[in-house]
Amino acid sequence: MLTIGIDLGGTSLRVGIFDSDMAVLESHTVRTRVEDGPDAVIEDMAMCVRKLLAGPERTTNVLGIGVGSPGPLHLQDGKLGQLPNFPGWDGFPLRDSLSAATHLPVFLEKDANAAAVAEWKKGAGSTADLDSLAMITLGTGVGTGLILNGQVWHGMVGMGGELGHVSLDRQGPLCGCGARGCLEQYASANGLLRIAREHAESAAASDGLKRLVGKAEGFTPRDVAALADAGDAAALDCFRELGGFLGFGLAGFINVLDLPLIVIGGGVASAWHLFQAAMFEAIRDNSIVYRLGEPSQRDSLEKDRTFIRPAELGPSAGLLGAALLPCLHSVSIDSDGLVSA
Binding site for a copy of itself (CB under 8 A): 72, 76, 81, 144, 148-149, 151, 153-157, 159-163, 165-167, 169-170, 177-179, 248, 251-253, 255-260, 285-289, 291-293, 303-306
Indicate the SS3 state at residue 66.
Answer: strand
Residue placing its CB nearer to a copy of itself in the complex, 48 or 175? 175
Q: Are strands 12-18 and 24-31 parallel, antiparallel or unpaired?
A: antiparallel
Residue placing its CB nearer to a copy of itself in the complex, 253 or 275? 253
First to last CA, the chain: 8
* Residue 102 exposure: Cα atoms within 13 Å on the Cβ side: 29
CB of 281 to a copy of itself, least distance (A): 13
Instruction: Indicate the DSSP class of residue 305.
Output: S
CB of 96 to a copy of itself, least distance (A): 19
| CA 133 – CA 151 distance, rounded (Å) | 10
Residue placing its CB nearer to a copy of itself in the complex, 14 or 154? 154
CB of 200 to a copy of itself, least distance (A): 24
Residue placing its CB nearer to a copy of itself in the complex, 101 or 128? 128
CB of 110 to a copy of itself, least distance (A): 12
CB of 17 to a copy of itself, least distance (A): 32
CB of 182 to a copy of itself, least distance (A): 9
| CA 324 – CA 331 distance, rounded (Å) | 11
**Helices 189-200 & 221-229, crossing angle to 10 degrees?**
60
CB of 285 to a copy of itself, least distance (A): 7
Residue placing its CB nearer to a copy of itself in the complex, 147 or 200? 147
| CA 321 – CA 333 distance, rounded (Å) | 18
Residue placing its CB nearer to a copy of itself in the complex, 81 or 321? 81
- Residue pair 9/70 in contact by the 8 Å Cβ criterion: yes
CB of 170 to a copy of itself, least distance (A): 7
- Residue pair 161/153 in contact by the 8 Å Cβ criterion: yes
Q: CA distances (Å), 46 to each of 41, 101, 230, in order?
A: 9, 6, 47
Q: 248, 254, 239, 260: which is closest to 285 by C-alpha? A: 248
Q: CA distances (Å), 72 to each of 7, 140, 295, in order?
A: 15, 17, 34
Residue placing its CB nearer to a copy of itself in the complex, 157 or 333? 157
Burial of 162 (0-12, 13-18, 19+ CB in 10 A): buried
Q: CA distances (Å), 302 to each of 125, 226, 290, in order?
A: 11, 35, 14
CB of 181 to a copy of itself, least distance (A): 9
Residue placing its CB nearer to a copy of itself in the complex, 148 or 277? 148
Residue placing its CB nearer to a copy of itself in the complex, 278 or 313? 278
